[in-house]
Amino acid sequence: MKVIETVGEMKLLVDALKSAGGRIAFVPTMGFLHEGHLALVDEAKRRGGAVVVSIFVNPAQFGPSEDFEKYPRDMERDLRLCEERGVTVVFCPKREDLYPEGFQTYVNVEELTRGLCGAARPTHFRGVTTVCAKLFNIVRPDTAVFGEKDYQQLAVIRRMARDLDMNLEIVAHPTVREADGLAMSSRNKHLSPEERKQAPCLRASYLEAARRLEEGEGKVARLLEAARRVIEKQPDARIDYLGVYDAEDLTELDEVDRRAVYALAVFIGRTRLIDNGMLEP
């Protein structure tokens, strides 16, 4: 496994891979890897060719009062996990290399980023799309694999790739969960043992909404009321947002009359967790 730390070296390696006719499957991450990330790596491996994983905690996607400094990091362990999983190249650039002095160009997906996580984190997706556009230009992958856990992010990246004629396939991978339903996330590390016990309420709230829908309740207000009750039972849970949205354009729905996504963000103590699940009429 190669570990590359500069944009220049990465571009040279990509040139070499491409001129030998190789294909590249890419998994962008912020590190502190868990089985969710590694499932994306396995998916990338299934595509054949070289698997490139990037590890970069992207300052541009954190707001001024968010957890950039406190975001968990463990490069040594990440590299070991990548090696064990058969990754070809880990790209871990330095902040100054990706955002040199004078940097001032951003990619912004206008509408899909307004609601859900974008409402509370107004510059978040601009940071995500900008870094992904840069990474796609550097790595030039044939496919890039993203997790459905970040449903809005996946929709935004797909839109960007389509709108800017990026020459790659965006592949989605289902959310990988702990045995009790909690979606795996690097941020789960911040949960105290007591908070960890409460954290599966995000998933439980979806299952409750899905159950009510199955029983014939199609009104979103009713479904959300039931879902909210599940979360509010937990003493340290505070809802940031929760809603039911059109699965494609993420507009809010009043009725589950088409393929929809239930999505939510909840603070458990000081840790903000997100999750989602599909609702079919």
Q: Taking CB under 6 A as the rule, does residue 234 contact ligand AMP? A: no
Name the residue number minimizing CB distance to ligand AMP.
147
Q: Single out the segment in contact with ligand AMP by CB under 6 A; choices: 29-37, 201-209, 257-265, 269-277.
A: 29-37
Work out how close the CB of 225 gets to ligand AMP at its nearest, in angstroms, rounded to a whole number: 27
CA distances from 280 to 36, 113, 149, 205 (A): 24, 23, 18, 16
Q: Taking CB under 6 A as the rule, does residue 237 contact ligand AMP? A: no
Q: Which is nearer to ligand AMP, 207 or 226 (CB)?
A: 207
Per the annotation, the verdict on 37 as an active-site residue is: yes
Q: Are 224 and 206 in contact (CB under 8 A)?
A: no
SS (H, E, C) the chain: CEEECCHHHHHHHHHHHHHCCCCEEEEEECCCCCHHHHHHHHHHHHCCCEEEEEECCCHHHCCCCCCCCCCCCCHHHHHHHHHHCCCCEEECCCHHHHCCCCCCCCCCCCCCCCCCHHHHCCCHHHHHHHHHHHHHHHHCCCEEEEECCCHHHHHHHHHHHHHCCCCCEEEEECCCECCCCCECCHHHHHCCHHHHHHCCHHHHHHHHHHHHHHCCCCEHHHHHHHHHHHHHCCCCEEEEEEEEEECCCCCECCECCCCEEEEEEEEECCEEEEEEEEECC
Q: Which is nearer to ligand AMP, 88 or 152 (CB)?
A: 152
Q: Which is nearer to ligand AMP, 37 or 212 (CB)?
A: 37
Work out how close the CB of 146 gets to ligand AMP at its nearest, in angstroms, rounded to a whole number: 4
Q: Taking CB under 6 A as the rule, does residue 203 contact ligand AMP? A: no
Work out how close the CB of 79 gets to ligand AMP at its nearest, in angstroms, rounded to a whole number: 15
Q: Which of 34, 37, 173, 190 is catalytic?
A: 37
Q: Taking CB under 6 A as the rule, does residue 190 contact ligand AMP? A: no
Site string for ligand AMP, 30-59 (x = CB under 6 A): x-----xx-xx-------------------
Which of 7, 29, 159, 200 touches ligand AMP by CB under 6 A? 29
Q: Taking CB under 6 A as the rule, does residue 134 contact ligand AMP? A: no
145-174: which residues touch ligand AMP (CB under 6 A)? 146-147, 149-150, 173
**Contact residues: ligand AMP, CB under 6 A:** 29-30, 36-37, 39-40, 146-147, 149-150, 173, 175-176, 183-186
Q: Please give the positions annotated as active site.
A: 37
